[in-house]
Amino acid sequence: MKFSTFFKSVLLCACCLLSGVSGAQQQTILVFGDSLSAAYGIPRASGWVNLLQQELQRSHPQYKVINASISGETASGGRQRIDSTLRQHSPSIVILELGANDGLRGMPIADIENNLSALIQQSQKGNRKVLLIGIQLPPNYGKSYTGQFKALYSRLAQRHKVELVPFMLKNVQPEQFQADNLHPMASAQAQILQTILDKLKPLLKTTIF
């Protein structure tokens, strides 16, 4: 009887220790973006960020996902709040998805690039890993401007040595966009997730996909 009680106590202590180790090892992935990551126009549960959390719960349970995306956010606006967000959540990986609204407003390319560069540098402090998400503008903004806008993401990725998703809406079909022709429907979110996962995998400590 005494042996049985002792054995149960040992098991309980072991479980507590394992639980503590598991909790200590949990890391945060911060998604810092705009409406494309904030599930604009669709149920939040259907958005690619929530789908990412579901996938990681299965494959990489040591990671949790925090979505700090705000619809309408710009790179300049994100620059103002990135430090406080980083302090609040202490992420080990930052998925940076901004710039689209700046481009849609026709802001100077140099200003967009400068703000995104600052965001990357701030996110990299403390040896954080950064995944930069690229976007492209509709052709009606002109070949010159859209070309310069597209090129700034690869330039930033090379300069700061970060992983890059060249175009997050790659392979999203025209019929999968909402009426504004800018925001993807719920049916496109799994494809967006896969495009991002392809570049996120190398940043995860253990790859078991």
- Catalytic residue of the set 19, 89, 180, 198: 180
> DSSP of 12-77, one letter per residue?
HHHHHHHHHHHHHH-EEEEEEESTTTTTTTS-GGGSHHHHHHHHHHHH-TTEEEEE---TT--HHH
**154 in Cβ contact with 167 (< 8 Å):** no
By the 10 Å C-beta count (0-12 exposed, 13-18 middle, 19+ buried), 209 is classed as: exposed
- Catalytic residue of the set 60, 89, 183, 198: 183
- What's the rounded Cα separation, in Å, for the pair 110 and 102? 11
- Catalytic residue of the set 34, 35, 69, 102: 35
- What's the rounded Cα separation, in Å, for the pair 65 and 68? 10
35: annotated active-site residue: yes
117: annotated active-site residue: no
- What's the rounded Cα separation, in Å, for the pair 163 and 95? 10
34: annotated active-site residue: no
Q: Which residues does the annotation mark as catalytic?
A: 35, 180, 183
